[in-house]
Structure 1
Amino acid sequence: MASKPGILTDWPWKPLGNFKYIILVPLIAEHIYSFMVKDNKDIDVSKLALFPSMLWRMLHTQLWISLSRYRIAKGTNKIVDEGIEFDQVDRERDWDDHIMFSAILFYWGNKYVPGGSHVPYWRLDGVIITMLLHAGPVEFLYYWLHRALHHHYLYSRYHSHHHSSIVTEPITSVIHPFAEHIAYFLLFAIHVFTMVLTGTVSVIALAAYVTYVDFMNNMGHCNLELIPNWLFTLLPPLKYIIYTPS
């Protein structure tokens, strides 16, 4: 919890506790029903991939958690050589909230945003647009958003919650108040809306970009150095697409 919690700190489904996934039941039920009553030629592949992609993100993160804890238990390549406090474990137990949140928003986008449904498998131009937007305006805006979150007012109300974890784990990367995740989603949705508006969106582009962001977040907070420094010396541009814990 932040030192002075601000508005929209808690997730909307916090009162549900471990039963929070019940809010996805109507969405999944409607999802399944729509495929049962439609012909194969009318099936929306992008909608079909929505909830499997949510499960993939959870599995991907769990694999990082397991790898990180295994390597730390072995005592190899650790950056911060300290134990993890029980308070941190409790604070980070709801790491899947952001995955639920994005799944719900993507569901609404698929259902209500023009051009957000019946997306093709692949479009190269959409991938190029995503790469350019990420390397340009999105990284620029993310830098200033992060700077703003370290201002005393926002830090004490929101971002200090994230930095309460001294010995980071992969899931530490997504432990933020609800309001922060809204800001992050709006920022990283720039790619999505640009592709949708230009008609260049594709299932693979979306899935690959989300996986890339998850991968970088997990690796960047795993408290292990997995990529040797000499690789960045050999390939200097690598620092613009990969970041590591140190």
Structure 2
Amino acid sequence: MATLSAWPWGNYGNLKYLLYAALAAQVVYSLAYQEDYSRAFWCLNILIICGQRNRTRLLELLQQHAFLDSDNYILLQAIIASMICYMSTPSMIMNSTIPLWNTKGLIVLLVIHVTFSEPLYYFLHRSVHRNNYLFTHYHSFHHSSPVPNPMTANNATLLESLFLCVVAGVPLIGSCLLGVGSISLIYGYAIMFDFLRCLGQCNVEIFSHKLFESLPILRYVIYTPTYHGLHHENMGTNFCLFMPIFDVLGNTLNPNSWELQKKIRLAAGEPKRVPEFVFLAHGIDIMSAMHSPFVFRSFASMPYYFLPFAKQGINNHIEAAILRADKLGVRVISLAALNKNEALNGGGTLFVNKHPDLRVRVVHGNTLTAAVILNGVPKDVKEVFLTGATSKLGRAIALYLCRRGVRVLMLTLSAERFQNIQKEAPAEFQNYLVQVTKYNSAQHCKTWIVGKWLTPREQSWAPAGTHFTQFVVPPILKFRRNYTYDELAAVRLPKDVQGLGTCEYTMDRGVVHACHAGGLVHMLEGWEHHEVGAVDVEHIDLVWEAAMRHGLSSLSSLTD
């Protein structure tokens, strides 16, 4: 690789964040053993600024690997700032009594930024594009993003980031050395610099075209996402940092910059493409919430699951989502695990019965979930132990397996519910369904299908070598090495699927829960029925074959 194109901590993974430990240690050491707290003061502020500048990454999966290290420049700036802090004498830059605000400092900073940072960045940026070696070995990485987004702004090589440290650092250091620095200036400039860089890559036009028509001078003072987007399309134009005036002076202004910006703004109110399929997901625990891009907008308005008094509130949210999807013209809406809880809304039947004229098809996806579980059971298995045996999925699994001549030990205390399911089986297979009431009944069975959460003690009844297949949310704990465990029923989507920007709960990239994929298959097949309530055993093989036909694949370790 070219010199300074790779990061020195590029192979450290998340261990690179230990480099911040030196700053934290200096803060603790100074507070504990030194009378002069100036270095501790600045080290603490460096840590706070770096923490504020790290952003949540909500990206397409194709871009995630490239952007996982897009915060390297923040770590680099922290190291450089700490070095300046240690090399400086106890002058204004090291004085912990620096004021909170200084108007003169703001003026000085703006002057330095406009007269130094803007022209320097423009010159360097244009030079890199006009030099094939520099562009290929350094800047092409930045332009490799399939779709620019805010994180693209920080997608740079080490050399580019070093130059950027000079561009962003000189106005701040210059203001402090001239004795007009302030706390608000340091925080404000660092955050605003990042914001404006990300603004150019965000693909969302926030400025009204009327603003630029009313005050034409603004066209040369602040760039727009459209302006910078044109640079990624036509890399011979629009090189400026934030101020297009330098492209005007350098004769590199793209002539379509403002007309295209106006066109995009006017088109913002036009109807957009309506999704054909929606998966109505929900949070399960803290970790799943951290993987969900929607949680921060809706968490405060979401009732808690499983509390009786919250039942109506939960159903109101689900019903509102279904009606909104129906109004927009969505073809299929699929309900995630807890959104179709039997005790909550009868597996979605509540909404279908209440709104018989729905155009959107409501799908619980349990048919494909059952198919994934059943196709993961080896063909030579003669006995399985089934918990959650009288649930929607448990019933379907039991009825399907008994037809294969598999003896199903159905754990349930309700003789009535067991007998109702047993009567649904063909007469010649009814004896394959056996009711059991205790876990010790399965102490010789090595195939457990789990639809009800198991404690470690309950799992301990299983013999060594037992395999656990599960459809319980949240999944059971994996506590013994001599057992093997499947994840929740899931399928791998085809590699050409687009728009999947996050991992789904415990699933790997490109993998979704079977109920999610079940709704997708329903839409792709163009089926017109609602899939709610009890699972139709006759449709299990039909849905499985349709899923395979559309390029979905099973993950079950039993069939590997």
| TM-score above 0.5 | yes
Q: Deviations over 1:197-234 (max 9, x none)?
A: 31222221111111111110111111211222222222
Corresponding residue for residue 110 of structure 2 = 131
Corresponding residue for residue 205 of structure 2 = 225
Cα offset, 1:173, TM superposition? 0.3
Distance 1:111 1:240 in 2: 39
Q: Are 2:101 and 1:101 equivalent residues in the alignment?
A: no
Corresponding residue for residue 88 of structure 2 = 113
Within 5 Å, which residues of 2 pair with 1:65-104? 65=57, 84=60, 86=62, 88-104=63-79
Within 5 Å, which residues of 2 pair with 1:199-210? 199-210=179-190
Bigger Rg, which one: 2
Secondary structure in structure 2 of the residue aligned to 1:212: helix
Secondary structure in structure 1 of the residue aligned to 2:225: coil
Q: TM-score, normalised to structure 1's length?
A: 0.81
Distance 2:143 2:161 in 1: 15
Change (3 A) 1:159 1:110: same
Aligned pair partner of 1:57 in 53, 70, 91: 53
Distance 1:205 1:236 in 2: 28
**Given that residues 47 and 117 in structure 1 are in contact (C-alpha distance below 8 angstroms), is that contact kept between their aligned partners in structure 2?**
no
Distance 1:38 1:235 in 2: 54
**Given that residues 47 and 118 in structure 1 are in contact (C-alpha distance below 8 angstroms), is that contact kept between their aligned partners in structure 2?**
no
Secondary structure in structure 1 of the residue aligned to 2:156: coil
Change (3 A) 1:36 1:244: farther
**Given that residues 5 and 158 in structure 2 are in contact (C-alpha distance below 8 angstroms), is that contact kept between their aligned partners in structure 1?**
yes
Q: Are 2:125 and 1:146 equivalent residues in the alignment?
A: yes
**Given that residues 111 and 117 in structure 1 are in contact (C-alpha distance below 8 angstroms), is that contact kept between their aligned partners in structure 2?**
no
Within 5 Å, which residues of 2 pair with 1:1-80? 5-38=1-34, 42-44=36-38, 45-58=41-54, 61-62=55-56, 65=57
**Greater share of helix residues, 1 or 2?**
1
Structure 1: runs of 5+ lacking an equivalent: 70-83
The one-letter code sitting in structure 2 at the alignment partner of 1:138 is S
Corresponding residue for residue 77 of structure 1 = none
Distance 1:197 1:238 in 2: 31
Aligned Cα RMSD in Å? 2.0
Distance 1:104 1:236 in 2: 41
Corresponding residue for residue 195 of structure 1 = 175
**Given that residues 168 and 193 in structure 2 are in contact (C-alpha distance below 8 angstroms), is that contact kept between their aligned partners in structure 1?**
no
Cα offset, 1:123, TM superposition? 2.1
Cα offset, 1:156, TM superposition? 0.8
The one-letter code sitting in structure 2 at the alignment partner of 1:52 is I
Cα offset, 1:22, TM superposition? 1.3
Change (3 A) 1:17 1:85: closer
Change (3 A) 1:46 1:24: closer
The one-letter code sitting in structure 2 at the alignment partner of 1:153 is Y
The one-letter code sitting in structure 1 at the alignment partner of 2:28 is I
Q: Deviations over 1:175-214 (max 9, x none)?
A: 1100110111122222123123312222211111111111
**Greater share of strand residues, 1 or 2?**
2
Structure 2: runs of 5+ lacking an equivalent: 227-560
**Given that residues 24 and 44 in structure 2 are in contact (C-alpha distance below 8 angstroms), is that contact kept between their aligned partners in structure 1?**
no
Q: Are 2:181 and 1:181 equivalent residues in the alignment?
A: no
Corresponding residue for residue 78 of structure 1 = none
Q: Highest relative contact order (Cα 8 Å, sep 6+), 1 or 2?
A: 1
The one-letter code sitting in structure 2 at the alignment partner of 1:202 is S
**Given that residues 223 and 245 in structure 1 are in contact (C-alpha distance below 8 angstroms), is that contact kept between their aligned partners in structure 2?**
yes
Cα offset, 1:159, TM superposition? 0.4
